Amino acid sequence: MTIRGQACIVGIFEHPTRKAVDLTVAEIHAECAAGALADAGLSHDDIDGYFCGEDAPGQGAFSMLDYMGLTKVRHFDATEAGGSSYLMHVAHAADAIAAGRCNVALVTLAGRPRTSKEPIARGPAPERAWEGPFSAATVASYAMVARRHMHDHGTTSEQLAWVKVAASHHARHNPHAMLRDVVTVDDVVSSPMVADPLHRMDCCVVSDGGGALIVTRPEIARELKRPVVRVIGTAEAAKGTNGGRVDLTHSAIAKCAPAAFAMAGIAPADIQYASLYDSFTITVLMQLEDMGFCERGQAGRFVADGGLISGVGKLPFNTDGGGLCNNHPNNRGGMTKVIEAVRQLRGEAHPAVQVPDCRLASASAIGGLLGGRHGGAVLIMERA
């Protein structure tokens, strides 16, 4: 069974806070839900499906269903895959809708990593005894991938920097973005080194906040006074360390992107706007290749000289400023990637960055560590 066109995204909301001093995580979830429902023109009582990740506090879905008073929910899903969770939630919601398990699905994300240092509770990982003593930092994992790309393909720090430059050109038009100043390639490569070859400006922001999505049946979407955005392609995959035989040349996106495009019945060249997970600049380069937007090893050249800047380059990306400049709520950027793709398809992005007559968009996200265990997910969407 294909879910192509079986579900539509009708409501979006990105919480405006970037530092939630006076809000709990549960309150942010609830405010995001209310915002997405208002955007869709639906009510609290319309929700009969709920999707969340490990960021949901307490007992996760159980606690949030009770806290938000979602008494009519007859299907819920607490899939956890880091920052890629929320793209998977949209896909799983589309599956559930197509199977008749729900009609109106709510997806929420919230967190306060900038304000509170409380970690998400997890049990001990099976690899902990072997890898724990080395305490590999997140940025070091991505730095390994960047160094491998440089070694194999001649990619330069200046090319990586163009990703940040493009994000900054877009963020200047976003009043909620954490970093709104336009930067240059020299600014990026002159910023302090964090993990060679990644500089501080190659790294995403850390922010509180959250977001929400409403996914419905197509017939419900057509009754609402909003542009209809259809989900036409989805896929997900996982990639591990293969017992120590680590391959740094591709991500899990390479395993699932072809399936998403096949379901959608289009090619990467048809995409007019791409939301690309940007935890670090190298994360974007890897996805450009893994999604099929350019040949393997050519991403550095693809982004150079403004290749990702809306109105200038070949493929506009992250026109809200992305995780590099705008917002990376709870260190999980997949939610905002879907939100900005929907804005583009509706024609609701800032006029300075709106892609003219945008009809096909993609969102891709990676959760976990790019240089280690991670999940990947891809969504292909179209304006009906």
Cis peptide leading into 197, omega within 30 of 0? yes
Q: Are residues 216 and 202 in the same domain?
A: no
Q: Are residues 186 and 307 in the same domain?
A: yes
Residue type, 291: M
Residue 127 lies in a domain: no
Q: Are residues 252 and 310 in the same domain?
A: yes
Q: Are residues 109 and 174 in the same domain?
A: no
**Mean pLDDT (whole number) for 64-69:** 94
C-alpha 211/C-alpha 269 separation (Å) is 29
**Mean pLDDT (whole number) for 352-372:** 96
Structure confidence at residue 118 (pLDDT):
59
Structure confidence at residue 64 (pLDDT):
93
Cα distances (Å, whole numbers) of residue 376 to 43, 103, 275 = 32, 26, 13
Choose one of 230, 265, 298: the last residue of a domain: 230
Residue 125 lies in a domain: no
Residue type, 3: I
Query: For the range 256-261, what are the long-range contacts, defined as Cβ-Cβ under 8 Å and sequence gap of 24 or more?
Result: 256/376, 256/377, 256/378, 257/290, 257/291, 257/292, 257/364, 257/378, 258/292, 259/235, 260/233, 260/234, 260/235, 260/362, 260/378, 260/379, 260/380, 261/233, 261/292, 261/380
Residue 342 lies in a domain: yes
Structure confidence at residue 3 (pLDDT):
85
Q: Are residues 277 and 359 in the same domain?
A: yes
Give the helix, strand, coil percentages of the chain, each rounded to 5. 35, 20, 45
Count of the separate structural domains present in the chain: 2
**Residue linked to tokens 């979830």:** 29
- Record the tokens describing residue 125, joined without a space: 């990982």
Q: Are residues 341 and 256 in the same domain?
A: yes
Angle formed by the axes of helices 253-264 and 281-290, nearest 10° = 50
Residue 308 burial (CB count, 10 A): 28
Choose one of 183, 198, 230: the last residue of a domain: 230
Residue range of the domain that includes 371: 136-206+232-383
C-alpha 195/C-alpha 205 separation (Å) is 16
Residue 18 burial (CB count, 10 A): 19
- 3-state DSSP assignment of residue 154: coil
Q: Are residues 61 and 153 in the same domain?
A: no
CATH number of the domain that residue 318 is part of: 3.40.47.10
Q: Express each pLDDT in 323-359 by its tens digit.
A: 999 999 988 999 999 999 999 999 999 999 999 999 9
C-alpha 298/C-alpha 285 separation (Å) is 9
Cα distances (Å, whole numbers) of residue 7 to 76, 100, 360 = 16, 11, 16
Residue 126 lies in a domain: no
Q: Are residues 42 and 160 in the same domain?
A: no
Residue type, 174: N
Average pLDDT, whole number, for the chain?
A: 94
At residue 123 the predicted structure's pLDDT band, cuts being 50, 70 and 90, is: low
At residue 1 the predicted structure's pLDDT band, cuts being 50, 70 and 90, is: low
Structure confidence at residue 126 (pLDDT):
62
C-alpha 171/C-alpha 176 separation (Å) is 9
**Residue linked to tokens 């072997």:** 130
Q: Are residues 185 and 289 in the same domain?
A: yes
Structure confidence at residue 99 (pLDDT):
95
**C-beta separation of 333 from 280 below 8 A:** no
Residue 128 lies in a domain: no
Q: Express each pLDDT in 9-51 by its tens digit.
A: 999 999 999 998 889 999 999 999 999 999 999 999 999 999 9
Structure confidence at residue 245 (pLDDT):
84
pTM for this entry: 0.95
Q: Are residues 91 and 28 in the same domain?
A: yes
Q: Are residues 223 and 243 in the same domain?
A: no
C-alpha 184/C-alpha 314 separation (Å) is 19
Q: Are residues 184 and 84 in the same domain?
A: no
Which residues are within 8 A (CB) of 178 and not within 5 positions of it... i.e. 6 or more apart?
18, 205, 207, 325, 326, 327
Q: Express each pLDDT in 149-182 by its tens digit.
A: 999 999 999 999 999 999 999 999 999 999 999 9
**Mean pLDDT (whole number) for 304-318:** 97
Q: Express each pLDDT in 179-216 by its tens digit.
A: 999 999 999 999 999 999 999 999 999 999 999 999 99
Choose one of 198, 230, 262: the last residue of a domain: 230
| Total residues belonging to the chain | 384
Residue 219 lies in a domain: yes
At residue 135 the predicted structure's pLDDT band, cuts being 50, 70 and 90, is: low
At residue 119 the predicted structure's pLDDT band, cuts being 50, 70 and 90, is: low
Q: Which of 208, 218, 179, 227 is nearest to 343 (CA)?
A: 227
Structure confidence at residue 164 (pLDDT):
98
Residue type, 34: A
